[in-house]
Chain A
Amino acid sequence: MNQGAKNTLKYLGLAVIGMFFFSFALVPLYNVFCEVTGLNGKIDLSPTKFVQEEPVQGRDLKVQFVSHNNEQMPWSFRPSAEVINITTGKYYTATYFVKNNTDKVMVGQAIPSVAPSNAAAHLKKLECFCFEQQRLLPGEEAYLPVKLLFDNELPESINNVVLSYTIFDVTNTYKDEIVQNTHSMNTKS
């Protein structure tokens, strides 16, 4: 094989390996792209930096809260208030009622989603029960808070936002921990 062919071969091999890693890079790239452009309604699963409440009068916004138990996960899970009428630029605290109706320790993970999706970039959450897994003892109940703000840059066309939380049963990923730590409590009020 001549040198030219060897070079081509080398570059092609590198290209193949590069594209394989590129596909894995697509995972964080997708998230970064969504966050930067606010597309897809993906919400941060970590707290945003504290945003100063704006002195300028914001505008009215209706926020509806929705819940769903994935795979009929046996907790009670519902928003305390189904609708709140708020103003952009200010923080509000909403809560979700949750109760473990079974006789076993369980761990749940709530995943948020916002509609319309272009509202997601303007939603800031200082605190959210979706940031962490929630462990509940049998029969334990709690009111889980989410402290949120919609900034004033929220597009004018949006007057109504739906914030949805789906709760998943993630107990299986914590089997060992639960066995060891059945006595520790992790309540949030």
Chain B
Amino acid sequence: MSLSSRVLARLFRVDVPPWMEEPTRLGRALKAVALIVICVLVIYPFLIVLGTSLAPRQEIINGGGFVLIPHHPTLEAYRVVLSGGVVARSALVSIGITLVGTAASLVCTVMLAYGLSRPNTTGTRPILLLMLGTFLFAPGIIPNYLVVKQLGLLDSYAALIVPVLLNAFNVVVVRAFFQGIPDELIDAARIDGAGEVRILTRIVLPLSRAVLAVVALYYAVSYWNTFFNAILYLSDASKWPLQVILRKYVIQGDSMTATALGVHTLPPSQSLQMAVLVIAIVPIAAVYPFLQKYFVRGVLTGAIKG
């Protein structure tokens, strides 16, 4: 094979299992087209965001607000956003909260989900319904504020974690997955004398990597995106996480309050807003590929058969 076709083959290596038919030419072509279209639809706007973040103001004015490929790229917008150390500090806060929060949430979620997943356990139904109820009725801002205040969490980082520790949706998802684990495995362990906690840690968890990865991702993203709770519970701006700081930049023109008051607000330049967006997304874009392997086939098989 020529060099180029070898490279292509490597890049597009396809491992076809013996029982599967060879993918048809047409099938592959159609798939390729569909995927290319999807990718373009998604990537194109991102290139615009990236390009605009690197474009000097004049080019943006000429381009009507957005620039795909700047002729004279500049890091000015990033410099402005990152100056003063405010963004850097808030990024650290966000990272800390995300790591701690995700760990805490995951642990509690798994515990609750497992506790509710074994059939005919006492109290499963009431607890489950209790939990589902929370999914539907959101308590108000002021009542929540009062509870947080009473628990002494105001102005502490814990206020960003404890009030949002669990998400009923995620618990339901994990529980459903746990229920799908074959009873034979669990019974076998019980007969060997294992207690529930052992069963959970030795048997159930190792089999649940995919769903745990999904739920961890959901929690991590929501902690990373913490916004309103920070504004409400933390009066000290130096404790604010990244999203709050960044959002302060992305105000298109006048905000409602400002307009109403007749107050003059300096609309941030387009490149500033786009730089803010890039900074907000980059960490997630960087972390996600590492989680991907949990979403790829092959992780589960073998455990059951063995």
Partners in one complex: no
